[in-house]
Structure 1
Amino acid sequence: MSKEKTKLQIESEKVEVLVNQTNTKIIELGGHSQHLYGALDLIQSLFDKIRNVPSDRQKEYEEIKQIRLTWKQQVDKIENDYETATKVHTGGGIAGAGLGVGVAMLGPTAAMGVATTFGVASTGTAISTLSGAAATNAALAWLGGGTLAAGGGGMAGGSALLALAGPIGWTLAGIAIIGSGLLMWKAKSDKERLENVFLLISKRDQTSYKEAIVELNERISRIINETQMLNAAMINIVTFGTDYNKMTEEQQYTLGSYVNLMNSSTQLLVNPIMGLQPKFSEEDFNRFKSRFYPCTDIRLYCEKNKDLIIYIANLLYKITTDETDRKLLAKSFKKNKEFIEKMKIDKNNIDLELFNVVDRILKFTYTYHKKS
């Protein structure tokens, strides 16, 4: 007879279902982004043939083109780095087991989905500017919950990923790994306290993913619509001729409106899905740290434990804890060998002080965002 599932197991499974649905939507978004990019590429070729375009319009058009080309370079980098990483970790084979939807075969469509969904890493650094391994790890963390290829890859990139992984990484690494550590607690009251904290995290994340799926659907709808508008624009442009000075005033005005359309369409490619950005960012971390002089103990402590602080701050964002909760959380993290190994962190850095500092940082962050 199978053992009845706990409330936490039930809620965690709901989160996992939503994560998979989110990943499916990211892949779907990638397919539509691919069509949009193709339409932008074609209309660009038509604009390139037009002579005597006013310098201000030409400059605007060139800037739009550069943004799009940079985005495509980012897509190519994610795809190529992933292919390299999987070969390294699997001895030439393509990893599949344990990865999120679409990760086993991270082709152009999936890579476009990642690039459009996340845009930049949580640090504010464009994925394309990260080193090969970091770029790949960021993409894998987002799509695969932080799990890299079979063959002992574990949590891709270890502690470096703590500050890079998006909320999918936070959820699976937090709930699945740390939540499993609840089994070691003998005192029922302690176990229930911790379980309640993780239940709150699970329910918060369910809400986040549901909202993200709505946002992804809205983005897909807009991309489909603007792709159709670009296709209609191309049919029109070919009737204008290739000399701007010989176009009618109405044609020139229409051409200008198409530049605006290209701009808005490009933004649909490069602007991230906000619901899938980390709840607590490196910018939030730096804002808190900057309040203290360079050599103060709190600033030095934050700098030493930056990645871990950002990770825990994301995990506990908008989750109310008291001193007892934080003591139990610190003990749970520290005793959980699987978490320590997968995250490649020093267990000596995990203590009550760490969780109290995170609580202080989060309270400051809530106040700041409420005022701003």
Structure 2
Amino acid sequence: MPIPIILGVAAAAAGLYGAAKGVSGAIDHSNAKGLNDEARTMVNVSNQKVEKHRESTNKTLEDYGQRKLRAFNGVIADFITTFERLKNVEVMGSPELDKLNAGDFSNNTLKGLRQDYQALKDAGLGLGAGMGSGAALAFGAYNGTMLLATASTGTAISSLGGVAATNATLAWLGGGSLAAGGYGMAGGMMVLGGIVAGPALAIFGHILGSKGEEALNNARSNLEQAKTIRDHANLMAGKLQAIEQVTALANSTFSKISAQLRHAVHDMKIAIETHGEDYRALPQDSRNVVLSSVKFAQLLKAMIDTAILDEQGNLVLSTEKRIQDIATELTAPSA
């Protein structure tokens, strides 16, 4: 009667094997769940990191744009009005300001300031007007030439708000979304020159319907994708930090120049009221006041003409050095 015994042993072995496979499958499923949870957490943390930097960079750019607008409607308008009261002004350029393309004040800088201010008024952003977040973002990121250039007919732009909406980087910075598809970190990666993570963001399918070994392999793959997303997020955060730091430097420098120009214009008004509007008749100290106001206006115009981002939304790498040069010239003695 050996056959039944053999069959019984075989059945027992099969049962043990099935039980072992069942235990192994359960362990695989448990491990897969752990890996998937780790991957989800990694992606969520990465998304939160990018979103934090996006919001911070967006706010810094908007603040800078608002500061520019306040300057145009305040100290710049005041300077233009006061300076144009003077007659027979002979303002010499300086080699230092020539390096910043801001040396020839009488023919270029004043004309440019007038045109920029007029363009803002034509866009409905004159004294007392507010600036929407999209316009402020664009005004902070771009220079005067890119935003305030007039058409060949001389008609100024009618709105600044649309500029941000048509630029992928600014659209993403402003709202975390893109007009032409894409969203969240995937959109940010695309506009900041990284690898689009759209497919990777759709990972982490259910594992319950999969066999244990298959679920574990999928979970390992998910974790590798999550690590790639994390690396891209760190790259994006670095780019956003760079944009924010340069913008903050520009904002601070612009504020210092505005303050200096405000004081100089005040002194220039006093000089005009005291000695009249003929520059040639002014005493030397009053002429120096005029020269100082011109210098600060030139530096402010140089800042306005310095873009943070280019037309593709990338950080202009030369901007930080240019702002540092302007800040150095700010503290240099006037001619």
Quickly name the TM-score band, shorter chain normalised.
Answer: 0.5 to 0.7
The TM-score with structure 1 as length reference comes to: 0.51
1:213 partner amino acid = E
Contact 2:192-2:314 within 8 A present in 1 as well: no
Give the Cα separation in 2 of the matches to 1:235 and 1:114.
31
Contact 1:14-1:206 within 8 A present in 2 as well: yes
Give the Cα separation in 2 of the matches to 1:248 and 1:172.
57
Give the Cα separation in 1 of the matches to 2:122 and 2:178.
21
Gaps of 5+ in 1: 81-105, 149-153, 160-165, 282-372
Aligned to 1:201: 232
Q: Say which of 116, 121, 126 aligns to 2:146.
A: 126
Distance 1:113 1:70, change over 3 A: farther
Is 1:51 paired with 2:87? yes
C-alpha deviation, 1:220, in angstroms: 2.2
> What SS does the aligned partner of 1:230 have?
helix
Distance 1:252 1:220, change over 3 A: same
C-alpha deviation, 1:28, in angstroms: 1.9
Q: Higher relative contact order at CA 8 Å, sep ≥6: structure 1 or structure 2?
A: 2
1:215 partner amino acid = V
Give the Cα separation in 2 of the matches to 1:7 and 1:231.
50
C-alpha deviation, 1:53, in angstroms: 1.0
Give the Cα separation in 2 of the matches to 1:140 and 1:79.
25
Is 1:221 paired with 2:269? no
Contact 2:189-2:236 within 8 A present in 1 as well: no
Give the Cα separation in 1 of the matches to 2:48 and 2:143.
28
> What SS does the aligned partner of 1:239 have?
helix
Identity of matched residues, %: 12
Distance 1:270 1:59, change over 3 A: closer
Aligned to 2:138: 114
Distance 1:237 1:168, change over 3 A: farther
1:64 partner amino acid = T
C-alpha deviation, 1:190, in angstroms: 4.8
1:100-124: per-residue Cα shift (whole Å, max 9, x none)? xxxxxx825752442232338xxxx
Is 1:156 paired with 2:179? yes
Give the number of equivalent residue pairs: 240
Q: Say which of 222, 241, 249 aligns to 2:284.
A: 249
Distance 1:24 1:136, change over 3 A: closer
1:278-303: per-residue Cα shift (whole Å, max 9, x none)? 1699xxxxxxxxxxxxxxxxxxxxxx
1:116 partner amino acid = G
Give the Cα separation in 2 of the matches to 1:232 and 1:210.
33
Is 1:142 paired with 2:170? yes
Give the Cα separation in 2 of the matches to 1:146 and 1:114.
10
Contact 1:145-1:168 within 8 A present in 2 as well: no
C-alpha deviation, 1:189, in angstroms: 5.5
Aligned to 1:240: 271
Say which one has the larger Rg.
2
> What SS does the aligned partner of 1:211 have?
helix
Distance 1:77 1:246, change over 3 A: closer
Distance 1:155 1:18, change over 3 A: closer
1:147-182: per-residue Cα shift (whole Å, max 9, x none)? 69xxxxx832579xxxxxx96872599667444234
Instruction: Write out aligned runs for 1:61-76 (5 A).
Output: 61-72=106-117
C-alpha deviation, 1:15, in angstroms: 0.6
Aligned to 2:305: 270
1:260-292: per-residue Cα shift (whole Å, max 9, x none)? 1101112223312269951699xxxxxxxxxxx
C-alpha deviation, 1:139, in angstroms: 5.3
> What SS does the aligned partner of 2:233 have?
helix
Aligned to 1:8: 43
Aligned to 1:180: 201
Contact 1:141-1:168 within 8 A present in 2 as well: no
1:11 partner amino acid = S
Contact 1:43-1:234 within 8 A present in 2 as well: yes
C-alpha deviation, 1:51, in angstroms: 0.2
Contact 1:175-1:202 within 8 A present in 2 as well: no
Q: Say which of 54, 60, 63 aligns to 1:25.
A: 60
Give the Cα separation in 1 of the matches to 2:87 and 2:286.
14
Distance 1:45 1:112, change over 3 A: farther
2:88 partner amino acid = N
Gaps of 5+ in 2: 1-36, 94-102, 152-156, 207-216, 318-335
Contact 1:34-1:109 within 8 A present in 2 as well: no
1:18-45: per-residue Cα shift (whole Å, max 9, x none)? 1011112222222322222221111111
Q: C-alpha root-mean-square deviation of aligned residues, in Å?
A: 4.4
Comparing 14-23 with 69-78, greater Cα deviation is found at: 69-78
1:172-216: per-residue Cα shift (whole Å, max 9, x none)? 996674442344798455544443333222101212222333333
The TM-score with structure 2 as length reference comes to: 0.56
